[in-house]
Amino acid sequence: MSIKGPLHRLRRWIGNSARLRRGSPSAPKRPLPLPYPVAVQARDVAHEARPEGGGVEGFDTPGALAINRARLEHLAALRLPLAGKSVLDVGCGVGHLAQLFVKLGCRVVCVDAREENIASLRQRYPALTEAHVADVQQVPLSRFGRFDVVFCYGLLYHLEDPVAGLRNLFSVCDGLLLLETLVCDYSGPAVVLVDESLSANQARAGLGCRPSPSWVAMALNRVGFPHVYAPLSRPAYQDFQFAWRDNLDHWRDGHPIRCVFVAARAELPHPQLVPLLS
Ligand SMILES: C[S@@+](CC[C@H](N)C(=O)[O-])C[C@H]1O[C@@H](n2cnc3c(N)ncnc32)[C@H](O)[C@@H]1O
């Protein structure tokens, strides 16, 4: 294979760089070739506006209500021992999903990074008396107590520091972690960094992630959970219904892709749960 092409391009790149540094009038107008294959657009999150419709109304769209119904039906069908437990709902939004635990007679504490979401939760569900504003990546959840069950649906992929978030969840979890997240379709432990809007149901600072199932299983184990499971069944909603292709996609056929995980401190023999750790 000839190396003339790459060498020639490298010499031209060095020459162009030198001309640019000297401010030569003959500096080329075309951008320099990149030494790495990078495709990133500049963004100024600090000065970005929230998109239209990006307030708490986003929690009540037909799509949001449909996926909530499917998630809760799926969780109820697993028949996990949840009744009467203490539950921490992290990334609770406006409190829709916490109602499942209220109905099961649990003591429920809700946490969300956004003041407006917690204010809306208090208006909608006055019975949820323990609701706090806290960023799970920064505020130790231990200030709210310890819990039999930590419930974390729809949050992990909104974190820019997902391992820090999982460490925090583990630190207050005495029994089960119920986790639902958008994922990327990859068999290794990878995580894709993604831009998100500043809507009330998105990442706090515009930066989220799409971890692969292996990444989630590995991270859950390394932060301390000895047991990590996948339910055999999937919620009856399009985001959960897809075939694996191992190509790093996190969006397919017009929708994102999601999975449910259960992590536990103690072994959880269950006909519907498959252990993910070998
Ligand atoms: C997609 S909503 C999920 C709400 C609810 N759990 C559900 O599944 O319907 C994501 C929620 O996570 C919250 N959130 C985003 N980043 C957070 C963070 N760093 N710490 C705590 N909550 C966060 C958002 O404010 C939003 O309410």
Summarised one tens digit per residue, pLDDT across range 106-120 is 999 999 999 999 999
Question: Tens digit of pLDDT for each residue in 134-189?
Answer: 999 999 999 999 999 999 999 999 999 999 999 999 999 999 999 999 999 999 99
Q: Which helix (H) or strand (E) holds 264?
A: strand 258-264
Residue 23 confidence class, pLDDT cut points 50, 70, 90: very low
CA of 113 from ligand 1 middle (Å) equals 7
Residue-level pLDDT at 86? 98
Q: Is the pLDDT of residue 9 over 70?
A: no
Lowest mean pLDDT among 14-23, 30-39, 269-278: 14-23
**CB of residue 71 inside a 6 A radius of ligand 1:** no
Q: From ligand 1's centre to the CA of 157, what distance in Å? A: 9
Distance 25 CA to ligand 1 centre (A): 52
Q: Is 92 in the pocket of ligand 1 (CB under 6 A)?
A: yes
3-state secondary structure of 177: strand
Measure 197 CA to ligand 1 centroid, in angstroms: 13
Å from CA of 207 to ligand 1 middle: 13
CB-hemisphere CA count at 13 Å for 58? Answer: 16
138 CA closest ligand 1 atom index = 19
Closest CA to 271 of 78, 117, 1, 86: 78
Dump strand ranges (E) for 91-221. 107-112, 131-133, 147-153, 173-182, 191-195, 207-211
CB contact at 8 A, 58 and 197? no
The span from the first CA to the last CA of the chain, in angstroms, equals 44
| Mean pLDDT, range 88-102, rounded to an integer | 98
pTM here is 0.90
Cβ of 209 below 6 Å from ligand 1: no
Average pLDDT over residues 251-273: 97
Q: Provide the Cα torsion 272, 273, 274, 278; round to 10°.
A: -160
pLDDT band at 32 (very low <50, low <70, confident <90, very high): confident
> What is the CA(158)–ligand 1 centre distance, in A?
7
Average pLDDT, the chain: 92
Question: What spacing in Å lies between the alpha carbon of 117 and ligand 1's midpoint?
Answer: 9
224 Cα to the center of ligand 1, angstroms: 23
Q: Where do runs of H (alpha helix) occur along the chain?
A: 4-22, 62-78, 99-103, 115-124, 162-171, 213-223
The pLDDT of residue 29 = 73
Instruction: Quick: pLDDT tens for 220-259.
Output: 999 999 999 999 999 999 999 999 999 999 999 999 999 9
Question: Ligand 1: which of 158, 168, 207 to mutate, most ligand atoms within 8 Å of CB?
Answer: 158
Would you say the CB of residue 203 lies under 6 angstroms from ligand 1? yes
Counting ligand 1 atoms within 8 A of each CB, the residue from 201, 239, 240 with the most, and so the one to mutate, is 201
pLDDT computed for residue 230 by the predictor: 98
Task: Supply the pLDDT for residue 24.
Answer: 52
Q: Could you identify the atom of ligand 1 that is nearest to the CA of residue 64?
A: 9
Cβ–Cβ contacts within 10 Å for residue 222, how many? 13
Output DSSP code: residue 13.
H
C-beta 173 within 6 A of ligand 1 = no
159 lines ligand 1 (CB under 6 A): yes
